[in-house]
Structure 1
Amino acid sequence: MSAIPATRRMMHLGLFILGTGSHVAGWRQPAAVTSFEDFSAVQQIAATAERGLFDLIFMGDNLYADPAAHPSYTSRLEPLTMLSALATSTSRIGLGATASTTYGDPFTVARAFASLDHISGGRAAWNAVTTANAVSAANFGRDHPDHGQRYAIAEEFLSVVRGLWDCWDDDAVVKNRASGLYIDPKKVRALDHEGPFFQVKGPLNISRSPQGQPVVFQAGGSAPGQRLAARTADVVFSVVQDLAEARVQYAGFKAQLSAFGRQAEHVALLPGVMPVVGRTDREAFDRLGALQGFLSDESAIQLLSDRFGTDMSIYDLDGPVPDLELPDSYHSFAGVMLSKARRDRFSLRDVYNLMGAARGHWVLCGSAERIADTLQLWFETGAADGFNVMPPFFHEGFTDFVDGVVPILQERGLFRTAYEGETLRDHLGLERPARGEWPARLGRV
């Protein structure tokens, strides 16, 4: 495809790290990383991402253990702890972690991400998730809220966290040795939040962070999830399979922003994509075939049951996709996959081959040139502001993208050739919010 002028908007690239890779069996690839508890391997992944000038590293998380679903994802380090350590061996790349609004508390989350923002010099991001899987509830001694209640809780949770981040003025810490005044009490205020789910006095016991507020990610695909993202998120991580559908989703989401006093450029939409890169298309498809060869019918049934929220063992894997209602959990994943299955007349095994490859995310397989062409097409035709890259395994599954695809995108003027700013907000083209801007916009729930 032809090059575009460098004055045009730049593509954003995030690295989504899910254990040893996004393919459930990627760790079985020869020479692949086999432990996500090996911090030296994580440091090498981060170094490659920063060398590739990625906007950020984005760590997924869950709150339960299921060794059958994704072994390397179950056996892993806690994301905020890991990213705080990574902050000391990286200098520019953003550092994003998942924390639950259903099983966390606003004060702890606000304090933790403000701390990461200070430690990293303004590179922190919080992926605010409602926690779809009901299995998590047993680890917290609670009942799992239904879909609607989870989003009602999340609305208030986000408001409280944003409010806590703004309890301090930027210049509240004066450190005046002559007068003995360390903190100006007139520039620190309580939040005094009283809501249906949370009562939080505040303020935080940490000053306003370098970005003013850490960047907020969200990944909701349902109507409540999109509304919450349109109101509160800086970046949205989306699930897509089809270009035309992605364009409709992109336009529909951007249209919601004006209701909250926001413009299209205020929120970046980054679909997840698992690139399988080869020197030729044939080599790439052979690599994907080798990965798929590690999968079994037993793992297929387990993953399909998990994603569709029902026991799929009663159905024939080589038969048609049954009529299923959208589950209370994994609403977006299930909706996208069922839509594609009906449109393309998939069998259940076809659906599993997509889910097993990237758990429902878009799989893009081909030469570096073909992958760059496709990403450019999506970026230029209103389907994405960039992409969350989900390597099938590390390290080769990621270095192939950094060394093969990124240079092509740079040559076409689509992606940066150097970091121009210091903070994650700089990389994303987001302004540093003034104190009080977000609480005024969000209001009190």
Structure 2
Amino acid sequence: MSAAFTTAPRGFLALELDGDGAHPAAWRKARHAPAELLDGTRVRATVLAAESAGFHVATFADGSLPAASSDAGGRDIPGRLNALQRAAFAGPVTGSIVLVPEVDTVYTEPFHISTQLASLDYVSGGRAGWLVAASDKVADAAAVGRSHVSGEGLGREAADSVEVSRRLWDSWEDDAVIRDVATGRYIDVDKLHYVDFKSVDFETGAGYSVKGPSIIPRPLQGQLPVLVPAGLLNADQLSAGAADAVLVSAPTPQLLAGEAAEARAAAPGAAIIAELDVVLDARGQSAAGRLAELDAHSPWQSSRARFVGSAAELTRLLASVLETADGVRLHPAVLDVDLEELAQLVLPALRRRGLLATPQPGSTFRDLLGLQRPASRYAAATISASSAADH
């Protein structure tokens, strides 16, 4: 469940690290061997560069990757590993940056989601989050032998998956692991709880049930922060705290502030993160010229607001957006080019203005968002029942 901010955190920046960049032709400007996308070398290099630059969060996109071009030649299809695996690989090699993989909630078993994300929280030292996705593709349903889900069903599936994951994270009390050598007891079974979850569609035969408890001890953060794209969940789900952060976009950068304000009203208590595609002037070439060159290979189709210009102009835009939003997630057109400009010119300028929180080694994602660490709902229920019995 989402909790109110304990303090008013300063702004933060997230960086999407998928492939070679957000533009489908980004690989043409990459400065690494193609195999590095699949052997961990690229993940290590980009996440460390993002952390060194002062980014607070790294996100990892996932899902199927159709050809960007209309021909059947397989042009401009980026290579990638599974998002959760990339984030887990990055955990031990980083020290302060938050790691947030995108994980589908419709065609992925929620029990597996919760345990894998809990494991990520452990390997990252409490720096993990969950970017909720909900695939509406028929091919994704067919790949796992499930009926296709669309429309409002996507939001229901997402909300159910978040809720059962949170219950599973709570199913181990914080002190359930006792490691009592004398008695040979590793866990106190009285501190493990059944979650007894049934999805909204369970009674119709289209849903599922989860008994629990989890097979992983409670995450270091208690519950991982959950990020949800705006429009996926309805007003009731948002007001009930289904999301800890909401990602918003707009047709143009100038409209981002308004979208952020609307999202804050719809999701009280949740952090608001604005989405922005970025193409910067770089290496003596204008941003518009760079974009035209890339689009000549494969046009960039994106629903996000797009900034095309200089580092100074982007700094002013981000400063304006951060007056309304808590954070901004940047999607660089070409990581090997735009990340250098962001690191050398944009982030230092924002820090000089005092607009960004200082990344702190040893802090958690919940710390960054200003969220308290929640108590296990089952532990709280047990304490309440015990207290009532005593009286």
TM-score by length of 1: 0.75
Q: CA deviation at 1:388?
A: 0.7
Q: CA deviation at 1:243?
A: 5.1
Q: Quick one: which of 102, 108, 113 aligns to 2:106?
A: 102
Q: Distance in 2 between matches of 1:106 and 1:216?
A: 14
Describe the shift of the 1:115–1:277 C-alpha distance in structure 2 as closer, same or farther (beyond 3 A): same
* Correspondence for 1:403: 344
Query: Is 2:315 the counterpart of 1:372?
Result: yes
Describe the shift of the 1:358–1:364 C-alpha distance in structure 2 as closer, same or farther (beyond 3 A): farther
CA contact (8 A) 2:9 2:357 kept: no
* Correspondence for 1:190: 194
Q: CA deviation at 1:25?
A: 1.0
Matched letter for residue 279 of structure 2: V
* Correspondence for 2:292: 289
Identify the structure with the greater helix proportion.
1
Describe the shift of the 1:15–1:243 C-alpha distance in structure 2 as closer, same or farther (beyond 3 A): closer
Structural mapping, 1:39-438, within 5 Å: 39-62=40-63, 64-68=64-68, 75-195=79-199, 196=202, 197-221=207-231, 224-225=233-234, 227-230=236-239, 231-242=241-252, 245-258=255-268, 263=269, 267-278=270-281, 283-295=286-298, 356-357=299-300, 359-380=302-323, 382=324, 384-419=325-360, 421-436=362-377
Matched letter for residue 431 of structure 1: Q
CA contact (8 A) 2:136 2:148 kept: no
Q: Distance in 1 between matches of 2:379 and 2:189?
A: 22
CA contact (8 A) 2:16 2:58 kept: yes
Q: Which deviates more from structure 2 when the two are superposed, residues 86-95 or residues 178-187?
A: 178-187
Q: Distance in 1 between matches of 2:130 and 2:153?
A: 21
Q: Distance in 2 between matches of 1:438 and 1:158?
A: 20
Q: Distance in 1 between matches of 2:163 and 2:285?
A: 50
Matched letter for residue 191 of structure 2: K
Describe the shift of the 1:172–1:439 C-alpha distance in structure 2 as closer, same or farther (beyond 3 A): closer
What is the SS of the residue equivalent to 2:322?
helix
Matched letter for residue 363 of structure 1: R
Identity among equivalent positions (%) equals: 30
Describe the shift of the 1:73–1:47 C-alpha distance in structure 2 as closer, same or farther (beyond 3 A): farther
Matched letter for residue 154 of structure 1: A
Describe the shift of the 1:82–1:131 C-alpha distance in structure 2 as closer, same or farther (beyond 3 A): same
Describe the shift of the 1:141–1:439 C-alpha distance in structure 2 as closer, same or farther (beyond 3 A): farther
Describe the shift of the 1:365–1:437 C-alpha distance in structure 2 as closer, same or farther (beyond 3 A): farther
Describe the shift of the 1:421–1:120 C-alpha distance in structure 2 as closer, same or farther (beyond 3 A): closer
CA contact (8 A) 2:191 2:379 kept: no
Q: Distance in 1 between matches of 2:369 and 2:253?
A: 23
Q: Distance in 1 between matches of 2:257 and 2:131?
A: 23
Describe the shift of the 1:208–1:88 C-alpha distance in structure 2 as closer, same or farther (beyond 3 A): same
Describe the shift of the 1:280–1:45 C-alpha distance in structure 2 as closer, same or farther (beyond 3 A): closer
CA displacement, residues 93-148 of structure 1 (integer Å, 9 cap, x when unaligned): 11111221110111111111001111111111111211132331221223311211
RMSD: 2.7
Q: Which deviates more from structure 2 when the two are superposed, residues 121-130 or residues 200-209?
A: 121-130
Q: CA deviation at 1:179?
A: 4.0
What is the SS of the residue equivalent to 1:276?
strand
Q: Distance in 2 between matches of 1:163 and 1:71?
A: 43
Query: Is 2:16 the counterpart of 1:12?
Result: no
Task: Count residues with an aligned counterpart.
Answer: 363
Q: CA deviation at 1:237?
A: 2.0
Describe the shift of the 1:282–1:237 C-alpha distance in structure 2 as closer, same or farther (beyond 3 A): same
Gaps of 5+ in 1: 1-6, 296-355, 441-445
CA contact (8 A) 1:26 1:291 kept: yes
CA contact (8 A) 2:223 2:374 kept: yes
Q: CA deviation at 1:394?
A: 2.3
Q: Distance in 2 between matches of 1:91 and 1:180?
A: 35
CA contact (8 A) 1:22 1:358 kept: no
Matched letter for residue 283 of structure 1: S
Q: Distance in 1 between matches of 2:301 and 2:18?
A: 10
Q: CA deviation at 1:189?
A: 0.9
CA contact (8 A) 1:114 1:208 kept: yes
What is the SS of the residue equivalent to 1:204?
coil
Matched letter for residue 356 of structure 2: F
CA displacement, residues 252-293 of structure 1 (integer Å, 9 cap, x when unaligned): 2222335xxxx3xxx222122122222699723322232223
* Correspondence for 1:346: none
Q: Distance in 2 between matches of 1:439 and 1:245?
A: 43
